[in-house]
């Protein structure tokens, strides 16, 4: 695992500037560095040695006549078979790395190489003869890729912060991203919180030449139910396919560990992978926030050592600024900080860990996916009646019964934007002092719903989450928190072959009114005890709701809500009311409070120079 950064239109002091940019991502690759500079481009690389850990694996990597230059972040799990194929076609390899396969593969197949790959990746190839840059990002967006075109300079890299030292970079807040974030809890489009800085979206590649950028999609998820296999057959197919994926994801020349909670996803990974160690974190002794006991019991069951850490409230709160620095963009998911600590603990023992991200989106694991199957009596009412009731209920204080009426008065495409829905468009407009050109959330989700038009509601929800929630929240924090600790995190559920199987499973084998991930849970039963395989989803629980009612942390947030930055962007009287109502237990506003608080912490780090 590594990181890269670069820019075109090389400046007079390009070597010094490139060095400063590389220093910003040294955490992604502390083992070694590499550079390539010519009259037109400067490219820098930081390496974390995983495969071919000798110096021969260092980047940049060149083709035979040195006309092409590669920098790559990720792992290609089927590189050996592609390598043999390329050798058969006459290509000469100088290393044993998966990186070099990308370079020769691109020479041989062009962008069609991407169809052959199995892995996680973001890479860039510079063709000196044609003056063209080619860049690509993996199928699911496991690895990040950012770019910006400023002052005649095209910048690209693994993290936005690496652009900051470049003299052409203009640091400006993208206020539209802020308004979108208030609803989604992350930035849901290709735009970032830095104006004119963009994300290359998952399963896309680009070509850049003579100042022109051409971006294309090369792969997409295609749900197409196959009703022939029964449940038992699907369970068998999942077991076989997932075992194969785990074996592929274990390829490394260093020790591999695994994260472990009390849930089925990480337990399934840990049991199948046969790793040496598992890693777990929790808070206090309350089982709602501490899964260490579960994890230790399960680790004993599979005969592995579990290494754990209890995170204190002080550690958690004191780390927030540092973590927002590493995130590049604000993310209001409280679990990202817990993820930082489990990555930090694992990095003391291993360089690579396996984790369970992606299982919920692929196999239908979120409890909200059960919603289309419930309340059939109420849904039998005519649509216009439910819509009227929902419209009236929307003016009442939010609580469980009211929320039910509001949601069931809307079509799925109106009400579901993913696993998080913080502030409604009306509420965020009231909260913000500033005016932005942010679109309505449904404008952002509409293109994805159009792709699965005619599918069942569960499939529509999964498709949306696979493209927005998973990329914008789940995988963003997985990459940034692991790399902040120089740790490679691999996700065997997010495998092209696993997805090819999962997208054929009928919804009735994914979700019922009683449970989620039905077929996958049965597959997990073959490797994990029943109480783990059938355990209800807990997530990565963090006691934010409890802390915000304690005087100490209430005070910290209140001070932030009265700060100059808060006054600049928000109607602070509304912020204080959210906080006071939460402390008085009039309502649970914890996630909304946290969304604004995290933005202000991030803004303080990147725009006010606050220490991390």
Closest C-alpha to 82, from 55, 112, 44, 39: 112
48 plus 186 within the same structural domain: yes
Residue 25 is predicted with a pLDDT of 95
Last residue of a domain, one of 482, 504, 533: 533
Tokens 């009400």 map to which residue? 415
Q: Evaluate if residue 526 carries a pLDDT over 60.
A: yes
- Are 109 and 54 contained in the same domain? yes
Percent of the residues in the chain that have a pLDDT greater than 90, as a whole number: 80
Query: Which range, of 373-377, 503-507, 522-526, averages the lowest pLDDT?
Result: 373-377
| Catalytic entry in 2, 222, 336, 343 | 2
Tell me if 33 is assigned to some domain.
yes
Do 199 and 118 lie in one domain? The reply is yes
Residue 597 belongs to domain spanning: 544-607
Residues 205 and 277 in one domain: no
Q: Residue 387 domain-assigned?
A: no
Do 296 and 258 belong together in one domain? yes
Q: What is the CATH number of the domain that holds 177?
A: 3.60.20.10
Q: Other CB atoms closer than 10 Å to residue 525's CB: what's the count?
A: 17
Looking at the structure, tell me whether residues 174 and 301 fall in a common domain: no
Q: In this structure, are 144 and 259 located in the same domain?
A: no
Cα-based torsion angle of the residue sequence 389, 395, 401, 404 in order, rounded to the nearest 10 degrees: 60
Residue 578's CB is within 10 A of a number of other CB atoms, namely: 19
Q: Is 118 inside a domain boundary?
A: yes
H helices of 92-174, in order, are 99-109, 113-116
Q: List the CATH number of the domain containing 351.
A: 3.40.50.620
**Residue 378 pLDDT grade (very low, low, confident, very high; cuts 50, 70, 90):** low
pLDDT in tens, 437-446: 999 999 999 9
Average model confidence (pLDDT) for the chain? 92
Same domain, 106 and 83: yes
Rounded to whole angstroms, the Cα distance separating 227 from 233 reads 11
What was the pLDDT predicted at 376? Answer: 67
Question: Mean of the pLDDT values across residues 102-111?
Answer: 97
Task: Give residue 530's pLDDT.
Answer: 72
Contacts of 339 (CB under 8 A, 6+ apart): 477, 478, 481, 482, 540
DSSP summary character for residue 374: S
2 is catalytic: yes
516 and 573 assigned to the same domain: no
Q: Does residue 327 sit within a domain?
A: yes
The answer for residues whose C-beta is within 8 angstroms of residue 341's C-beta and 6 or more apart is: 281, 309, 311, 315, 316, 319
**Last-in-domain residue among 504, 533, 562:** 533
Eight-state DSSP code of residue 158: S
With a cut of 80, say whether residue 531 has pLDDT above it: no
Answer with the one of 217, 240, 272 that is the final residue of a domain: 217
Per-residue pLDDT tens over the stretch 326-359: 999 999 999 999 999 999 999 999 999 999 999 9
- Shared domain check, 321 and 212: no
**Under 8 Å between Cβ of 44 and 6:** yes
Task: List % helix, strand, coil for the chain (3-state, nearest 5).
Answer: 45, 15, 40
Residue among 3, 10, 17 nearest 42 (CA): 10
**237 in the same domain as 139:** no
Same domain, 186 and 77: yes
Q: How far apart are CA 24 and CA 561, in angstroms?
A: 30
Contact 590, 582 (CB under 8 A): yes
C-alpha 168/C-alpha 170 separation (Å) is 6
Distance CA 13, CA 440 (A): 44
190-233 per-position pLDDT tens digit: 999 999 999 999 999 999 999 999 999 999 999 999 999 999 99
> Would you say residue 386 lies in a domain?
no
- 541 pLDDT band, cuts 50/70/90, is confident
Domain count across the chain: 3
Question: Is 403 among the domain residues?
Answer: no
Instruction: Report the pLDDT value the prediction gives residue 291, as an integer from 0 to 100.
Output: 81
């Amino acid at each position: 695992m590594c990181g890269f950064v670069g820019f075109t239109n090389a400046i007079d002091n390009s070597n010094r500037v490139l060095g400063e940019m590389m220093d910003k991502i040294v955490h992604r690759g502390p083992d070694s560095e590499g550079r390539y500079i010519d009259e037109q481009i400067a490219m820098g690389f930081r390496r974390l040695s995983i495969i071919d850990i000798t110096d021969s694996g260092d980047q940049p990597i060149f083709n035979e006549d040195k006309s092409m230059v590669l920098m790559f972040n990720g792992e290609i799990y089927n590189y050996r078979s592609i390598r043999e194929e390329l050798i058969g076609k006459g290509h000469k390899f100088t290393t044993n790395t998966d990186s070099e396969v990308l370079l020769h593969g691109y020479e041989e197949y062009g962008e069609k190489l991407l169809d052959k790959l199995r892995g996680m990746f973001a890479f860039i190839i510079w063709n000196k003869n044609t003056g063209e840059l080619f860049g690509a990002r993996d199928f699911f967006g496991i690895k990040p890729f950012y770019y910006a075109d400023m002052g005649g300079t095209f910048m690209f890299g693994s993290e936005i912060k690496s652009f900051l030292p470049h003299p052409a970079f203009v640091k400006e807040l993208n206020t539209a991203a802020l308004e979108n974030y208030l609803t989604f809890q992350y930035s849901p489009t290709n735009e970032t919180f830095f104006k004119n800085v963009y994300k290359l979206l998952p399963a896309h590649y680009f070509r850049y030449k003579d100042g022109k950028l051409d971006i294309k999609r090369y792969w997409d998820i295609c749900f197409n139910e196959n009703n022939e296999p029964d449940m038992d057959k699907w369970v068998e197919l999942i077991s076989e396919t997932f075992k194969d994926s785990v074996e592929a994801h274990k390829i490394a020349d260093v020790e591999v560990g695994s994260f472990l909670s009390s849930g089925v996803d990480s337990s399934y990974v840990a049991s199948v992978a046969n790793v040496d160690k598992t890693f777990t974190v929790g808070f206090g002794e309350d089982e709602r926030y501490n899964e260490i006991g579960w994890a230790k019991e399960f680790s004993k069951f599979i005969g592995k050592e579990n290494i754990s850490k209890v995170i204190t409230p002080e550690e958690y709160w004191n780390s927030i600024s540092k973590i927002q620095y590493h995130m590049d963009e604000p993310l209001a998911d409280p679990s990202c900080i817990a993820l930082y600590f489990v990555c930090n603990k694992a990095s003391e023992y291993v360089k690579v860990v396996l984790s369970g991200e992606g299982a919920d989106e692929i196999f239908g694991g979120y409890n909200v996916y059960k919603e289309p199957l419930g309340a059939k009596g109420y849904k039998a009412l005519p649509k216009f009646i439910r819509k009227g009731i929902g419209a009236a209920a929307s003016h009442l204080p939010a609580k469980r019964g009211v929320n039910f009426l509001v949601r069931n008065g809307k079509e799925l495409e109106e009400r579901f934007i993913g696993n998080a829905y913080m502030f409604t468009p009306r509420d965020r407009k009231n909260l913000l002092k500033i005016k932005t050109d942010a679109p309505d959330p449904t404008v952002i989700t509409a293109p994805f719903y159009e792709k699965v038009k005619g599918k069942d509601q569960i499939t529509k929800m999964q498709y949306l989450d696979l493209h927005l929630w998973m990329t914008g929240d789940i995988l963003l924090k997985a990459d940034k928190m692991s790399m902040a600790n120089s740790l490679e995190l691999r996700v065997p559920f997010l495998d092209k072959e696993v997805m090819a199987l999962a997208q054929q499973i009928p919804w009735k084998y994914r979700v019922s009114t009683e449970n989620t991930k039905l077929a996958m849970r049965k597959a997990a039963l073959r490797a994990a005890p029943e109480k783990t395989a059938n355990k209800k989803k807990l997530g990565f629980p963090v006691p934010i709701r409890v802390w915000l009612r304690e005087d100490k942390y209430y005070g910290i947030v209140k001070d932030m809500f009265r700060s100059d930055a808060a006054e600049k962007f928000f109607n602070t009287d509304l912020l204080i009311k959210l906080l006071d109502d939460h402390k008085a237990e009039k309502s649970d506003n914890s996630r909304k409070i946290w969304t604004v608080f995290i933005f202000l912490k991030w803004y303080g780090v990147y725009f006010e120079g606050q220490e991390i």
